[in-house]
Structure 1
Amino acid sequence: MKKKAYKFRFYPTDDQALLLAKTFGCVRFVYNRILKIRTDAYYQNGTSINYSAASKILTDLKKDPEFVWLKEVASVALQQGLRHQQTAFTNFWDGRAKYPTFKKKNARQSFSLVGTAFRYRDGNIYIPKSKDPLDIRWSQALPCEPSTITISKDSAGRYFISCLCEVDIKPMPICAKQVGIDLGLTDLYITSNGFKSGNPRHLKKYEAKLAYLQRMLSRKKKGSKNRNKMRLKVARIHAKIADCRMDATHKATRKLINENQVVYVENLAVKNMMKLPTLAKAIADAHWGEFVRQLHYKGDWAGRNVIELDRWFPSSKRCSTEGCGFVNESLPLNVRKWTCPKCGTRHDRDVNAAKNIKAVGQTVLASGATGSGLKAA
């Protein structure tokens, strides 16, 4: 059994929107308040506040007459906010994430409900302190009753609900195909079979409109209603770009996993590459990090192997012709095609890289490595 989240959009009533706004605000207040307390305690006294101590602080806050409004929302949402904060600190201590930051009012808002804090009845979900069910636009039926729901509102003002369910995901039938892929900018991915995906460049499509709206936003008075209206217009453009990018990534990774038993890909240092000012925007739009992440979890669900190769392997510089293996000393990015001086083969830079990635990946697989997310040294 695996845990899988199903995300849907919903449209709250006026009363529900008010309740959600209060809940978002209370969760954000508690999160920020206790984060400041934990930070001050560590830097001033060198003491660490764990989840139990943070929970006690929350209890004291709710007893304070100044913060009596914290009782107007579901207590489970506040407790889950502290659990998420504890997880953020755990990830920070283990080196997986940066130090937790304060939540902002105009950024994405969310809260989670678990156990008996919500009701799921006849295909409807009821949240605490609301008599009416949420008007959810179901794109598919849930496989079972959700164990946890997360309600969120993005910066564009859209409401979503994510339902966490335990499902039995069966592996896909074994197939004989294997493919190596090279991630790029002219084409989002190139396969060892010679297929080039192209690049829709979602950001470039809306860049002119986005720049115009951002100029208009910069001219509005801070705190005014007109500024907030313009902020929503800018946020909707960003949401449109993000949705298009994510949709294209899901379709591409699903196609690769469905058609191939083994997928070989380079282990790229995307965060470091994003530091290049000339390529940062294009790399962000290409979605490389999310692309590889989706390959891994979809491969794990489907019983496929996703093997990452070392980023320092000269996949583009090396001749992929069998029996040759010539390696160029240098190959600038503007050189898209080159001829091997040893065997005379004419190579497309990206297809050649994908072929080399597949060849080395097969060597790793033959050495006895199996499973999703392996890396070749």
Structure 2
Amino acid sequence: MYPNKEQEVLIAKTIGCSRFVFNHFLSKWNDAYKKTGKGLTYSTCSSQLPQLKKELVWLKEVDSIAIQSSLKNLADAYSRFFKKQNKAPRFKSKNNKVQSYTTRHTNGNIAIMDNKIKLPKLGLVRFAKSREVEGRILHATVRQNPSGTYFVSILVETDVQPLEKTKKAIGIDLGITDFAVLSDHRKIDNNTFTSKMEKKLKREQRKLSRRSLHAKKNGVNLLEAKNYQKQKRKVARLHEKVMNQRNDFLNKLSTELIKNHDTICIEHLHTRGMLRNHKLAKSIADVSWSAFITKLEYKAKWYGKTIIRVSRWFPSSQICSDCGHRDGKKALSIREWTCSNCHVQHDRDINASKNILIEGLRIQALV
């Protein structure tokens, strides 16, 4: 989005008020939980909100639905906590990297008009319209990134039509040198977006550190240090560029695989455990396997395709995909090997992807 100066101020106020209301009622909720072993309820907090607005008049300046939504988010967070789905909700800070608020659609208060979006209190805001918004609008989330850019995410209710069946299946072996090796012999290059930007990032982060030290030496609060804040936004823009490049790559690859295959077999990776390997942690974090698998799964659910997870203990690199003979464990340095039974020469990764496909189809047949 491209808000004007007045709209930027109102967005900052709305984010601040939503954060204040969330923290205010979280404090009350925690006190009630300590005393009674039970928290409050959404309706209890909601009934106290009008009185809070009378005491704090500045809460009336912003979108009332956004404030109400922050209460709903708090109630949902506590509900998940009691179901042991996540940890207890924590207080929100104005120093969080991403600041946002959510507002619901009621009586046409959110609408798209040419290259502008109508939002409660903000009015018409110019935005980059990449495609038409189809379906019934449910709510909009306004977000400010550390780089100072503004985004709006619109949630709509729509019917997603399943894609045509291709009667094709594919196995995927994820890696670091090649991002993905497919059972049809294709190798998808690992773009290493962070590594390519690393030199520039290091240089800009060193500048940021120097400006931080300079501000502290002069007794200036970092929030008021203009040079520090300017450099901070510059570093954030570089990180944002890397994130956008990676997301674009993952979205295009996952969509292409979903469109062209009915069944996708993939290894069930234990990424958290693999990140404990300090030599490979940086490279593993850069390739974003988890994000890729998440995208594959939700797109498969949308378009009527099937994702089959193969156990991470399955020895895909040890089995000959031609004859099925298990040849024993091999060091990571061995990239090609010859089967001792049928004497077929294998590329380690292509062979592994073929075995993942065979095992995935076997699991599918059992279901």
Higher relative contact order (CA 8 A, sep 6+): 1
The answer to whether the Cα contact below 8 Å between 1:185 and 1:283 also exists between their aligned partners in 2 is: yes
The answer to whether the Cα contact below 8 Å between 2:18 and 2:66 also exists between their aligned partners in 1 is: yes
**SS at 2:181 equivalent:** strand
Alignment of 1:100-249 (within 5 A): 100-106=89-95, 107-116=97-106, 118-120=109-111, 122-123=113-114, 124-130=116-122, 132-219=123-210, 220=212, 221=215, 222-223=222-223, 224-249=225-250
> Residue 149 of structure 2 aligns to which amino acid in structure 1?
R
Give the Cα separation in 2 of the matches to 1:332 and 1:101: 45
| Residue of structure 1 equivalent to 2:18 | 27
| Residue of structure 2 equivalent to 1:92 | 81
Mind listing any 5+ residue stretches in structure 2 that lack a counterpart?
216-221
**SS at 1:361 equivalent:** helix
> Residue 177 of structure 1 aligns to which amino acid in structure 2?
K
The answer to whether the Cα contact below 8 Å between 2:300 and 2:307 also exists between their aligned partners in 1 is: yes
| Residue of structure 1 equivalent to 2:252 | 251
Q: Which moved more, 1:108-117 or 1:279-288?
A: 108-117
**Pick aligned residue for 2:7 from 1, 16, 24:** 16
Give the Cα separation in 1 of the matches to 2:15 and 2:128: 22
| Residue of structure 2 equivalent to 1:356 | 355
Give the Cα separation in 2 of the matches to 1:309 and 1:121: 44
| Residue of structure 1 equivalent to 2:315 | 314
Give the Cα separation in 2 of the matches to 1:56 and 1:213: 49
| Residue of structure 2 equivalent to 1:47 | 38
Deviation of the 1:271 alpha carbon: 2.3
| Residue of structure 1 equivalent to 2:292 | 291
Give the Cα separation in 2 of the matches to 1:332 and 1:60: 68
Q: Which moved more, 1:34-43 or 1:164-173?
A: 34-43
Count of matched residue positions in the alignment of Structure 1 and Structure 2: 354
Deviation of the 1:163 alpha carbon: 1.3
**SS at 2:106 equivalent:** helix
Percent identity reads 38
Give the Cα separation in 2 of the matches to 1:32 and 1:286: 36
**Pick aligned residue for 2:70 from 78, 81, 88:** 81
Deviation of the 1:82 alpha carbon: 1.8
Give the Cα separation in 2 of the matches to 1:30 and 1:168: 35
Q: Residue by residue, what CA displacement relative to the aligned partner does 1:33-56 show, whole Å, maximum 9, x if unpaired?
A: 333333344346533223223334
Q: Residue by residue, what CA displacement relative to the aligned partner does 1:187-214 show, whole Å, maximum 9, x if unpaired?
A: 1111111111011100011111111111
Q: Residue by residue, what CA displacement relative to the aligned partner does 1:321-362 show, whole Å, maximum 9, x if unpaired?
A: 23x33141x323233223333333322221111111100111
| Residue of structure 2 equivalent to 1:5 | none
Q: Residue by residue, what CA displacement relative to the aligned partner does 1:68-113 show, whole Å, maximum 9, x if unpaired?
A: 2111111110111122222233333444434333333242111111
Give the Cα separation in 2 of the matches to 1:273 and 1:96: 24
| Residue of structure 2 equivalent to 1:262 | 263
Mind listing any 5+ residue stretches in structure 1 that lack a counterpart?
1-9, 370-377
Distance 1:366 1:47, change over 3 A: closer
Give the Cα separation in 2 of the matches to 1:331 and 1:43: 55
> Residue 173 of structure 2 aligns to which amino acid in structure 1?
D
> Residue 355 of structure 2 aligns to which amino acid in structure 1?
N
Q: Under a length normalisation based on structure 2, what TM-score does the superposition of the two structures give?
A: 0.90
RMSD: 2.0
Distance 1:314 1:121, change over 3 A: closer
| Residue of structure 2 equivalent to 1:374 | none
Give the Cα separation in 2 of the matches to 1:285 and 1:43: 42
Distance 1:310 1:129, change over 3 A: same
Deviation of the 1:267 alpha carbon: 1.3
Give the Cα separation in 2 of the matches to 1:271 and 1:201: 19
Q: Under a length normalisation based on structure 1, what TM-score does the superposition of the two structures give?
A: 0.88
The answer to whether the Cα contact below 8 Å between 1:309 and 1:357 also exists between their aligned partners in 2 is: yes
The answer to whether the Cα contact below 8 Å between 1:120 and 1:145 also exists between their aligned partners in 2 is: no
